[in-house]
Amino acid sequence: MTTATKPKGLSTSAMIASFADPGQRTESAPFGHALAALAEQDERIVGLTADLGKYTDMHIFAEAHPERFFQMGMSEQLLFGAAAGMAELGLVPFASTYSVFAARRAYDFIALDIAEPNLNVNVVGGLPGLTTGYGPSHQATEDMAIFRGLPNLTIVDPCDALDIAQSVPQLAAHDGPTYLRLLRGKVPAVLDEYDYTFELGKAKVLRVGADVVLVSSGLMTMRALQAADALAAHKVDVAVVHSPTIKPFDAETVLAELDTPRLAFTLENHTVVGGLFSATADAAAQRGLGKRIVPIALPDEFLDAGALPTLHERYGLSKDRIVAKVLAELG
C-alpha cells in the first residue's frame, strides 16, 4: 500500500460554494422570499420548477403558497410549455431551473410558446455564467448570447440580493417574458450601500470617477466596486455603471458615460461573445461612438471544473485580476 499524496488546492466543497467573499454580508434566498411576498399581494403569481426547487430558492415560495406551486419533474420542455399554458389563462408564472437547461434544452419552448405570443412568463435561471465549478454541463456561460437573439424577451442580470428582491415585482408587472439570471442561496448584499434602486430597463451610475469607467452587470458589478476601491489606492479614479438589464439595453445612460476620454471596460460573468460587451459595442457602433472598449469577460471556450475562487482567478473575474488588467491598460 502506498501513501497517496493529497492534491493541493481547494476541494469539492469549494466547487459548490457561494461566490460571496469570506465574511461578506449576505441574505438568504432573496428570490424565494421576494416571490412569496409578491404572491401575498397578487393571486395571479404561480411558481413552477423542474426538480430544482431547493436549488433555485423556489422552495421558499412552495412552502408559503403550496397550492400555487407546481412541481414538473426533471422536464424542462414541459416546465416552460406548461408555464405558457398558465399565462394564457391569465396567471403570472415564475418557472425556475438552471440557466443551462432553460437556454440550451428548452429554448424552443421558451421561443415558440412564450416569447412569440409575448406572454408574461418569467424564466428564472440558476447558476448563470461561472457560479458553479461543475464544468460546462452546469456553467451557463453563453445564456445571454443565446437569449439576446430572442424577440420580446427581457434579460436581467442582477448584482445582489437587493437587485433580485427589487426586480421580482417589476418582472411580474412587465407585460411580456423575462429571463432572470438568478443568484441563489446566500447572496451578497452590496447595493444597499449605494444610492440605488432597481429599475427594469435602466442602468445606474453607482460611483463617479475621472480616469476609468467600468460598465458591469450581474455579480461583476460587485467585483467592479471592489476593484474601484482597490484602484483608488493606486490613485486611479474609477466610475462604475451597473446595467442589470441586458435587453432592452439602456444605451442612453451607458453611452453618455462612455462618450468621455476615460478608459472604458465592460465586466460580465458571461462569455465575451454575445453578452454585455457585445450589447455595449453594438450600441456604441450604432450611435457612431468610435470608442475603444476593453472587455473583461469569460473566454470563448468551455471552462474548467474546479473551485470557484480558483476559476474566477483563472478566468479573470477576481478583483485582483480586474485591478491588474486596468493598471496594465493604463500603462
Binding site for other proteins (CB under 8 A): 46, 67-68, 70, 72-73, 75, 77-78, 80-91, 93, 108-109, 112-113, 116-117
C-beta closer to other proteins: residue 40 or 192: 40
Strand pairing class (26-28; 92-98):
unpaired
* 106 or 156: CB nearest other proteins: 106
Of 93 and 188, which has the nearer Cβ to other proteins? 93
Cβ proximity to other proteins: between 82 and 159 the closer is 82
H or E element that contains 212: strand 212-216
CA 223/CA 130 separation, integer angstroms = 14
User: Which residue number, 87 or 146, has a Cβ lying nearer to other proteins?
Assistant: 87
In the complex, what is the shortest distance from the CB of residue 108 to other proteins, in angstroms, rounded to a whole number? 6
Min dist. Cβ of residue 96 to other proteins (A): 15
State the number of CA atoms in the 13 A half-sphere of 304 facing the CB.
10
CA dihedral 93, 97, 99, 101 (to 10 degrees): -110
Closest CA to 87 of 139, 53, 44: 44
Q: In the complex, what is the shortest distance from the CB of residue 275 to other proteins, in angstroms, rounded to a whole number?
A: 26
Retrieve residue 223's grid coordinates: 467585483
Residue 130: CB minimum distance to other proteins, A? 29
- Return the number of the residue (104 or 207) whose C-beta is nearest other proteins: 104
Nearest approach, Cβ of 36 to other proteins (angstroms)? 17
- Closest approach, Cβ 89 to other proteins, in A, equals 4
Where do runs of H (alpha helix) occur along the chain? 12-15, 30-41, 58-64, 76-88, 99-100, 107-109, 143-148, 161-173, 219-232, 251-258, 276-286, 308-314, 319-330
Query: In the bound complex, what is the minimum distance in angstroms from residue 67's beta carbon to other proteins?
Result: 7
The residue written with cell numbers 427589487 in the block is: 166
Closer to other proteins by Cβ: residue 38 or 46? 46
- Whether residue 181 contacts residue 46, with contact meaning beta carbons closer than 8 Å, is answered with no
Mapping DSSP onto H, E and C, the string for 34-71 reads HHHHHHHHCCCEEEEECCCCCCCCHHHHHHHCHHHEEE
